Amino acid sequence: MEVWSGPPDVHWDTAQRALEDAGLGDGLPLVPPTKPRVDAALHLAGIDGATALAVLPPSYESVTWRDVAINAVMAGCAPDCLPIVAAAVEAIAAPEFNLLGIATTTGSATVCIIVNGAIARAVGMNSGSNAFGPGNRANATIGRALRLTLQNCGGARAGEIDMATLGQPGKYSFCFAENAGETPWAPLHVERGFAPEANVVTVAGVSGTIEVVDSESATPGDLAQTFAQSMLIAGNVGGAGLLGGGEPLIVMPPELADVFARSGCTKAQAKAEIFERARLPIDRLATAQRERASASGAAGDGSLRVALSADDIMIVVAGGVGRKGAYVPTWSGTTKAVSRRVRG
Q: What string of pLDDT tens digits covers the 344 residues of the chain?
A: 999 999 989 999 999 999 999 999 999 999 999 999 999 999 999 999 999 999 999 999 999 999 999 999 999 999 999 999 999 999 999 999 999 999 999 999 999 999 999 999 999 999 999 999 999 999 999 999 999 999 999 999 999 999 999 999 999 999 999 999 999 999 999 999 999 999 999 999 999 999 999 999 999 999 999 999 999 998 888 767 788 888 999 999 999 999 999 999 999 999 999 999 999 998 898 998 888 777 776 677 889 999 999 999 999 999 999 999 999 999 998 899 999 999 97
Q: Is residue 1 part of a domain?
A: no
Q: Is residue 322 part of a domain?
A: yes
- Domain that residue 70 falls in: 12-206
The pLDDT score that the predictor gives to residue 239 is: 67
What pTM value is reported for the model?
0.96
Cα distance between residue 38 and residue 246, in whole Å: 38
Contact assessment for residue 196 and residue 190, using Cβ atoms and an 8 Å cutoff: yes
Tally DSSP H helices, then E strands, for the chain: 12, 12
Q: Is residue 339 part of a domain?
A: no
Count of C-beta atoms within a 10 Å radius of residue 159:
7
Cα distance between residue 337 and residue 76, in whole Å: 26
Question: Could you give the number of structural domains in the chain?
Answer: 2
Q: Is residue 174 part of a domain?
A: yes
Residues 187 and 132 in one domain: yes
Q: Is residue 117 part of a domain?
A: yes
Q: Cβ contacts of residue 12 below 8 Å, gap of 6+?
A: none
**Helix or strand or coil: residue 150?**
helix
Q: For residues 168-181, b (16+ Cβ closer than 10 Å) or e, as one string? A: bebbbbbbbbbbbe
How is residue 311 annotated by DSSP?
G
At how many degrees (to 10) do helices 137-152 and 82-92 cross? Answer: 50
Q: Is residue 343 part of a domain?
A: no
Residues 242 and 118 in one domain: no
How is residue 204 annotated by DSSP?
E
Of 161, 188, 206, at which residue does a domain stop? 206
Q: Is residue 340 part of a domain?
A: no
Residues 261 and 323 in one domain: yes
Of 184, 206, 228, at which residue does a domain stop? 206
Q: Is residue 304 part of a domain?
A: yes
Q: How far apart are the first and last CA of the chain?
A: 41
* The residue count for the chain: 344
Residues 143 and 266 in one domain: no
Residues 274 and 125 in one domain: no
Residues 195 and 317 in one domain: no
**Helix or strand or coil: residue 300?**
coil
Residues 77 and 133 in one domain: yes
Cα distance between residue 140 and residue 152, in whole Å: 18
